[in-house]
Amino acid sequence: MTVHRRSLLVGGLATGLTGCTEPAMPTGVVPLAPGVTLGLPTPASLGRQIEASQLVQATYQGRDIVFEGALSITADRVLLVCMDMLGRQALMAKWTGADFETTIAPWFPTSLRPDNMLADIMLIYWPAEPLRRTLRGAVLDESTGSRSIRDGRKTLIQIEYDSPDSWNGTARYESVVWSYSLRVQSAEARVQTAEAIRGMLEDDEAGILNGLRGGLLKLRSLQALDERVTPWREGLERGIAEVEEVA
């Protein structure tokens, strides 16, 4: 694999696919369209830590490229690891807010540039204000379920969300000016873990959670005969509520 630690490469998905050229950009500055750039926001500007898995479908001129991504974000760095559908690591990209490091497999399409991939991810998931502070040559508009990058009345990039929680849903990204699109299905690790826990608890009629619910029904029946079971019933109700909230 080839390892790079340097200023960000020029262009992105559309630049590589269309053969367009752009003047060299400073570290952390990525072209989004002719005359429009985004300075990659700092990792801390996201305002939270994230561990998410993603399935990405990139489409350009009828060609589809599908890959899986693992995204890890802390206050100190953004780390993106992409794998093909066979599980082979295609690239690793790390952004600290000052330095950019990549490891790229020789077979990975050169049209998918790590710097622009991170820029696209940030346009989809970062809060609007950090993006607006580093966006040049255009403006970011945001409304319920969508956001766009516009140059006057012209839409350059359009993003649509199918869920209020963008980290746990599907986002559709379209670069109008460079004619490519992304479909990103994302799920936070905590949501995946919660679903696995719920599956284990409710696996069958003998599952732990269903057993607790059955016990609660019996305590409610006994309470009609003996009020001394009330604290037990209340404690079990609280326990079941906490398990259901976590799961």
Least confident stretch, 56-70, 134-148, 173-187: 56-70
Query: 64, 56, 101: which is closest to 82 by C-alpha?
Result: 56
What is the pLDDT, as a whole number, of residue 208?
64
pLDDT band at 15 (very low <50, low <70, confident <90, very high): very low
Which residues are registered as beta bridge partners of 104? Answer: 2, 91
Residue 227: what pLDDT? Answer: 75
Is the pLDDT score of 200 beyond 80? no
Beta strands in the chain (DSSP E): 2-5, 29-33, 36-39, 50-60, 63-73, 78-83, 89-95, 100-104, 135-136, 139-143, 146-151, 154-161, 169-175, 180-188
Pick the range with the lowest mean pLDDT from 37-41, 107-111, 161-165, 238-242.
Answer: 238-242
Angstrom CA distances, 79 to 84, 116, 122, 148, 187, stand at 17, 14, 12, 25, 16
pLDDT: is 11 or 65 the higher one?
A: 65
Tell me if the pTM is above 0.75.
no
Considering the chain, what is the average pLDDT of its residues? 81
Looking at residue 112, its pLDDT comes to 74
pLDDT band with cut points at 50, 70 and 90 for residue 18: very low
How many CA atoms lie within 13 Å of 17's alpha carbon, on the beta-carbon side? 19
C-alpha span between 203 and 106 (Å, rounded): 44
20 pLDDT above the threshold of 50: no
Q: What is the pLDDT of residue 154?
A: 93
**pLDDT at residue number 45:** 97
pLDDT (mean) for 134-154: 95
Q: What is the pLDDT of residues 90-118, one digit of tens each?
A: 899 999 999 999 999 998 877 778 899 99
Q: Could you tell me which of 48, 10, 31 has the C-alpha nearest to residue 190? A: 48
pLDDT of 1 strictly over 80? no
Q: Cα separation of 194 and 206, whole Å? A: 19
The radius of gyration computed from the CA coordinates of the chain, to the nearest angstrom, equals 23
Beta bridge mates, 58: 65, 182
pLDDT score of 204: 52
**pLDDT of 39-94, one tens digit each?**
999 999 999 989 899 999 999 878 888 889 899 999 999 999 998 888 888 899 99
**Distances from the Cα of 157 to the Cα of 62, 112, 131, 146, 154, angstroms:** 19, 17, 14, 11, 9
Question: Which DSSP letter does residue 152 get?
Answer: T
Alpha helices in 9-81 (DSSP H): 13-18
What's the average model confidence in pLDDT over 16-44?
A: 80
User: Is residue 57 within 8 Å of 64, Cβ to Cβ?
Assistant: yes
Per-residue pLDDT for 177 more than 50?
yes
